[in-house]
Amino acid sequence: MESSIRPVINWILLAETSLPPGWLDPPGFLAEAEQAVYQSFRFEVRRREWALGRLAAKKLIQQARLQPAVGAVLEPVCIEPDWGETGEELRAIAVLPAADQGPRVQTLAGSAWRDLDGSLSISHSHGRAFCAFAPGCEARTGRSFSGRSFSGRSFSGRSFSAGIGADIEKIEPRSAEYVQNYLHPQETFWLQQTARLQSGVMLKTLLWSIKEAALKSIRRGLALDPRAPVCLPELEALQAGGWHLARVAWDAHFTGGESFPDLAGWWRRLDDDILTIMGPI
């Protein structure tokens, strides 16, 4: 029988306008290595966005670590930020860009920084930061190319690492080029069928959000063709509120032959945004 115990996914949504005064000016919660990255951005808007993402991630990690890492919880759990903590406590968590530009979380233990068990993903939109974190959840790793040569020798190529991928996307119109360049043919067909029941604007945003979360989950981002992750959301789910299940499969035609694990996750509409969290099954 399939176990009902699974990793708990926690999420947070932080708006710059909802912060108590003084948290971003200056961002005293950044660790020294983060300060260096923060200072390196040329544009103030990117500095603020990056700092807000760090603040949201740190608040999320700190509070999620106090909760059970596994449970029978079905849906992602919302974490409300606790503003009682000091910047010093948050400086003992560092969220730095890894080589693939995705987040790498370290915590200070004594005088040494150690990688934190768990999977984190960050997304920004219009002065808000949305983060998802699964404590204790190891990234699923593997080889995205493998097989046997004509001489019978086995080979394996590029490795992948799949964890949590999160995305926040404002519901807004997208062009005909978007459909042509970014959607898989099956998604375009699904869109034509479904657009009679739902606003095309909302559906296109939903597909894009699921794609971005999926591309972050496998840590490739837009380095991979966005037509590669294929998602055909359930029609009934589009009508109701709250979180809905979504699944993503990969079309090898658009991955250049690479294979990745199927993903499962959640999406919801919150006011004028779509929030999505995806991860390996």
Ligand X SMILES: CC(C)(COP(=O)(O)OP(=O)(O)OC[C@H]1O[C@@H](n2cnc3c(N)ncnc32)[C@H](O)[C@@H]1OP(=O)(O)O)[C@@H](O)C(=O)NCCC(=O)NCCS
**Binding positions for ligand X, rule: CB under 6 A:** 50, 53, 97, 100-103, 122-124, 167, 212, 215-216, 219-223
Strands 118-125 and 128-135 turn out to be antiparallel
Residue 103 or 233 having the CB closest to ligand X? 103
Residue 68 or 256 having the CB closest to ligand X? 256
Least Å distance between CB 49 and ligand X?
6
Listed in sequence order, the residues at least 6 apart from 75 whose beta carbon sits closer than 8 Å to its beta carbon are 242, 243, 266
The residue sitting closest to ligand X, measured at its beta carbon, is: 221
Residue 37 or 194 having the CB closest to ligand X? 37
Tell me if 279 sits within 8 A of 263, measured CB to CB. yes
Least Å distance between CB 196 and ligand X?
29
Listed in sequence order, the residues at least 6 apart from 109 whose beta carbon sits closer than 8 Å to its beta carbon are none
Q: Report which secondary-structure segment, H or E, holds 155.
A: strand 154-156
Residue 112 or 223 having the CB closest to ligand X? 223
Token duo for residue 238: 């589009």
For 138, other C-beta atoms within 10 Å of its C-beta total 12
Residue 122 or 248 having the CB closest to ligand X? 122
Least Å distance between CB 190 and ligand X?
22
Least Å distance between CB 71 and ligand X?
25
Least Å distance between CB 253 and ligand X?
19
Omega before residue 21 within 30° of 0, cis: no
